[in-house]
Amino acid sequence: MRNKRKNLDCALLEIFSFNVQYYRKAIGLTQLELAIKSDYSHNFINDIENKKKKPSFEAIEKIASVLNVEPFFLFINPKDRFNGENHKIIGFLTAFHKNVNKFFEYTIKELSGDTEKPKKKGLSVN
């Protein structure tokens, strides 16, 4: 019985680790940026992605928040996530979420009087 539980822990940790890295890269964050934004050390994030540390519920919640996903997304098996249409939908939602965030960030800057042009080429406003 003990071996089954240990295997389950390892499988969940592997899925979680893969998904943290996947969603981090999807929004263009480095491990260091994720660590800073979630208030953890770079080593801790690195250890999670390399399946060396098991995060607490608090850590899962903070990391998911920074990655802009619900915590349960970090436990969905990638084989299920990339099955057929699910892959397209998640890719679309991730891209949509990023663009909405950029739009609101720019709008808030405009409303606050910060007229500095965006540095990225993909977001030009004339």
**DSSP letters of 43-96?**
HHHHHHHTT-----HHHHHHHHHHHTS-GGGGGS-HHHHTSTHHHHHHHHHHHH
- Tokens standing for 28? 């263009």
Q: Does the domain spanning 2-75 belong to CATH 1.10.260.40? A: yes
Top mean-pLDDT range of 22-26, 68-72, 118-122: 22-26
How much is the mean pLDDT over the chain?
Answer: 79
Model confidence at 103: pLDDT above 60 = yes
Structure confidence by residue, pLDDT tens digits, 8-19 = 458 889 999 999
Average pLDDT over residues 107-112: 80
Distance, in Å, from the CA atom of 48 to the CA atom of 64, rounded to the nearest integer, reads 13
Rounded-to-integer distance, Cα 30 and Cα 98, Å = 16
Q: What is the mean pLDDT of residues 52-66?
A: 94
